[in-house]
Amino acid sequence: MTKRDPLFAIKVEDVVKSYAEVMVLRRIKFSLQPGEVAVILGANGAGKSTLLRILAMLTQPDSGSIDIYGNDIAKNGPQVRALTGSVLHSPMLYTDMSVRENLTLFAELYRLKNIDTLIEKNACKVGIQSRLDHRVRTLSHGFQKRAALARALMHKPQLLLLDEPESGLDSRSVSYLENVVEEYRSSGRTILMTTHIIEHALEIADKAIVITDGYVHLESTTTCLNKSNILSAYSHTLPKTSGDL
């Protein structure tokens, strides 16, 4: 097992990713300390979701290196996945199974013990206790997202990756999400999320990373930022080099 700098929860160095001729991420570089809640901001198509998919190990970068809690993700896949919980765009649940059946399946895949207790506890955290025995197909988008969040929390990951977690959620669902974020912050674990809601990002996160044109254009603590700083970073376009496309 390749162990590197454990001081960082995430250390991303020069990550490049392109789809066909379109370069989505160009030498992305940033790091997060354990216990930080960070938010990735950027206009549509900036590469936020691609970056999160790379960190969740669903997409391979073309080049660059990523360490998660000292583990190189290229070499220690299963160890990194055990440390990471992810809620991406789609809930990724079996719609013809109940929420409980879905959570049980994933608890078995993560080789967890006391599965029934864990399910009850995490369902309570996201407010889906009353829907545990409902088939996912019958649930609203908001409840499906909450169920996906419960699945991501089941193995108590050190790092939580959330891709626009508040999209399609009502205010009550958002408050459950905020409780989870607070719990993570207070227990010294790390969250990296993407969002389009700048005000909410500044409120909830300790650090903001703005991606523009596939580069990290701005990386700062949220106390130093306001909405206009971020919007001006969105509109900043870097000059294209001949090798970019």
How far is CA 28 from each of CA 46, 63, 66, 73, 74, rounded to the nearest angstrom? 12, 10, 10, 16, 16
Check binding of 231 to other proteins (CB under 8 A). no
Site for other proteins in 19-38 (CB under 8 A): none
CB 87 to other proteins: min, Å: 10
Does 141 sit near other proteins (CB under 8 A)? no
CB of 82 to other proteins, least distance (A): 4
Strand ranges, E, within the chain: 10-19, 22-32, 37-41, 63-68, 71-72, 84-87, 159-163, 190-194, 207-212, 215-221
Stretch that binds other proteins, among 3-11, 18-26, 39-47, 102-110 (CB under 8 A): 102-110
Query: What whole-number distance in Å separates Cα of residue 87 and Cα of residue 151?
Result: 9
For position 217 contacting other proteins by CB under 8 A, the verdict is no
Spatial separation of the C-alpha atoms in residues 197 and 44, rounded to whole Å:
12
Distance from C-alpha of 18 to C-alpha of 244, rounded to nearest angstrom? 10
101 binds other proteins (CB under 8 A): yes
93 vs 216 by CB, closer to other proteins = 93
Burial class (CB in 10 A: 0-12, 13-18, 19+), 241: exposed
Is 111 or 235 the residue whose CB approaches other proteins more closely?
111
Stretch that binds other proteins, among 22-30, 50-58, 117-125, 187-195 (CB under 8 A): 50-58
Q: Which of 20, 96, 237, 239 binds other proteins (CB under 8 A)?
A: 96
Shorter beta-carbon distance to other proteins: residue 15 or 202: 15
Residue type, 37: V
145 sits near other proteins (criterion: CB under 8 A): no
Choosing from 22, 62, 63, 109, the residue that interacts with other proteins (CB under 8 A) is 109
Should residue 179 be labelled a site residue for other proteins when binding is judged by CB under 8 A?
no
How many residues are listed for the chain in this entry?
Answer: 245
39 CB contacts (<8 Å, ≥6 apart)? 192, 193, 194, 195, 201, 204, 205, 207, 208, 209, 222
Least distance (Å) between residue 93 CB and other proteins: 6
Of the candidates 30, 69, 106, 143, which one interacts with other proteins according to CB under 8 A?
106
Helices then strands, counting H and E runs in the chain, come out as 8, 10
The answer to the question of residue 154 lying near other proteins (CB under 8 A) is no
In terms of Cα–Cα distance, which of 110, 66, 86 is closest to 158? 86
Task: Point out which residues bind other proteins (CB under 8 A).
Answer: 56-58, 60, 78-79, 81-82, 84, 86, 88, 90-97, 101, 105-106, 108-111, 151
